[in-house]
Amino acid sequence: MPQKQAFEIPLDMPTTHGAFCERLACCLHGIDMAEIKAGSSVVVLGGGVIGLLTVQLARLAGATTVILSTRQQAKRKLAEELGATASVDPSEGDLIAAIAGPRGLVPGGVDVVIECAGVAATVEQSTRLAKAGGTVVILGVMAQGETVRIEPFDILFRELRVLGSFINPFTHRRAADLVASGAINVEKLISRRITLEEAPEVIRNPPAAGEVKVLVVATPG
């Protein structure tokens, strides 16, 4: 690989932690684009590894309210352990009302919404959760050619910033430093470790409920 793409990490850092640097670099780029200010309110849509890393980064960026939306209870619980101030199950009712409605967690909407699931439903929810003048960052990846229904007048009238964040330009070094320093907790995101021989069977099957990240660890020899 090109030398410019190699970044040194401490020798005493577990290699399994180093495996998160690329994913974290992608999240970090999205956080940079969101321009989160101290005291901001943030909603993260999606409770996978990207969403759970984004929750932690949002808190580090200064957000005092960070809400995670995901259907799986285990991931909502983990998000709150990692810094989310609240979590919501979108399958239990009207997510927009639960967060941005008059009696919601943040009436009127939040400063920043970061979409991390990469599905049509959450992309469509994202603009409706942001307050007037708020920012929406699309970090999740939908398949090329897929479309969603969004009301352009709503974006215009409420002056929303809707941004796309793609991959991880110039954020690898910072991501590696965040993992090495322990500022980002990656150990709690490792659901299990498997051998290379076990990998094909795991890949063939859907993840277990609440599973975040399965790491393939090659055995010596």
- pLDDT value for 6: 87
pTM: 0.96
- pLDDT value for 221: 41
- pLDDT value for 4: 83
Q: Categorise residue 97: left if φ over 0, alpha if ψ from -120 to 50, beta otherwise.
A: alpha
Give me the tens of pLDDT residue by residue for the chain, a chain 221 residues long.
888 888 888 999 999 999 999 999 999 999 999 999 999 999 999 999 999 999 999 999 999 999 999 999 999 999 999 999 999 999 999 999 999 999 999 999 999 999 999 999 999 999 999 999 999 999 999 999 999 999 999 999 999 999 999 999 999 999 999 999 999 999 999 999 999 999 999 999 999 989 999 999 986 54
- Superfamily holding 15-164: NAD(P)-binding Rossmann-like Domain (3.40.50.720)
Q: Are 189 and 213 in contact (CB under 8 A)?
A: yes
**3-state secondary structure (DSSP) of residue 208:** coil
- pLDDT value for 51: 98
So where are the chain's domains? 15-164
Q: How far, CA to CA in Å, does 32 sit from each of 26, 78, 162, 191?
A: 10, 24, 14, 28
Residue 101 makes CB contacts below 8 A (sequence gap 6+) with 94, 107
CA 35 to chain centre: 15
- pLDDT value for 154: 97
CA atoms within 13 A on the CB side of 153: 0
Burial 102-127 (b: 16+ CB within 10 A, else e): eebbbeebbbbbbbbbbbeebbebbb
Nearest CA to 116 among 76, 77, 165? Answer: 165
